[in-house]
Structure 1
């Protein structure tokens, strides 16, 4: 019943400690700032189970803080229920997309539309690269991409 009047989105990357928690936090902030946060349920998750329970990468948190965004997200792996609960599953790269489509194919009542978050980027940067092995600048790039994509997504789905 909680989900009935809401649009439900799940942001996904490989580990749920860099890109997807940034996307989730950006979505949350944008929805809040636009006064539509009560119309959305926003979460994030991972295709892998490596970091379950972990907080986001410190560099990602620092990047969000720099833009006055907080998150208390803990990493979790995507579940079969997610495919039945979420309207949109937005992932960061082709490997996430392959993994998610494979998982979704084993879920009978999957209703989630699975797509690349980058498909909403007005600058056509389709892939949001994993900044994990990169620098602070790479986290900033992810943040900027998420801002552009989330804004376009919200405009299209509001």
Structure 2
């Protein structure tokens, strides 16, 4: 067994309270289900600092819990300069997140930044931000993230 995770992935959205905490929790659940938890270091962060220190949005916590994933312990944080070296992949939930990451990245780390759905399953689409919507938006986002997480894990077989 490897003492150090083989690959490190940071999921990034705007505020780190809706999409990226779900992605962190769901991907962690997927790798655990497949017996691969030791192969990965998984985190999440936001491009903005509005919610630093706060738990995920209650609607994200609720939808995750409905599918047996506990993200209630997570706390929002902002992407920091060290993340570009600490993580092998920085996966933005939407193209704006990716653009912001690329603007903040040092030259040698640009290749680590990708759109989550594009990298995971070759679909160049954004995971929409459900913050201003209803419960159905969170359910839809959960399903997109779950499907993409399975596809992402298959990239490391």
Measure, in 1, the Cα distance between the counterparts of 2:120 and 2:5.
27
Query: Scaled by the length of structure 2, what TM-score is found?
Result: 0.92
Taking only aligned residues, the RMSD between alpha carbons, in angstroms, comes to 2.0
C-alpha change, 1:121 and 1:5, in structure 2 (3 Å) is closer
Give runs of aligned pairs for residues 13-52 of structure 1, distance below 5 A. Answer: 13-52=13-52
The alpha-carbon deviation at position 110 of structure 1 amounts to 2.8
Distance 1:111 1:3 in 2: 27
Aligned length: 155
Structure 1 match to 2:153: 154
Tell me if the contact between 2:5 and 2:41 (Cα under 8 Å) persists in the aligned partners: no
Deviation at 1:112, TM superposition (A): 5.8
Alpha-carbon shift at residue 113 of structure 1 (Å): 1.1
Residue in 1 aligned with 2:61? Answer: 61
Distance in 2, Cα, partners of 1:3 & 1:44:
22
> What residue is the counterpart of 1:93 in the other structure?
94
Residues 53, 138 of structure 1: alpha-carbon distance in 2 compared, 3 angstrom cutoff:
same
Which aligned runs of 4 or more in structure 1 are off by greater than 4 angstroms? 2-5, 120-123
CA contact (8 A) 1:10 1:89 kept: yes
The separation in 1 between residues aligned to 2:6 and 2:122, in whole angstroms, is 28
What 5-or-longer segments of structure 2 have no aligned partner?
none
* 1:86-135, Cα deviation, whole Å (9 max, x unpaired): 0000111111011000000xx26537611111114659361100000001
- Which residue matches 2:137? 138
- Structure 1 unpaired stretches of 5+: none
Aligned to 1:128: 127
CA distance in 2, matches of 1:111, 1:94: 14
Corresponding residue for residue 79 of structure 2? 78
Q: What is the CA–CA distance in structure 2 between the aligned matches of 1:133 and 1:3, rounded to whole Å?
A: 42
Give the conservation status (yes or no) of the 8 Å contact 2:11–2:44: yes
| Inter-CA distance 112–143: structure 2 relative to 1 (3 Å threshold) | same
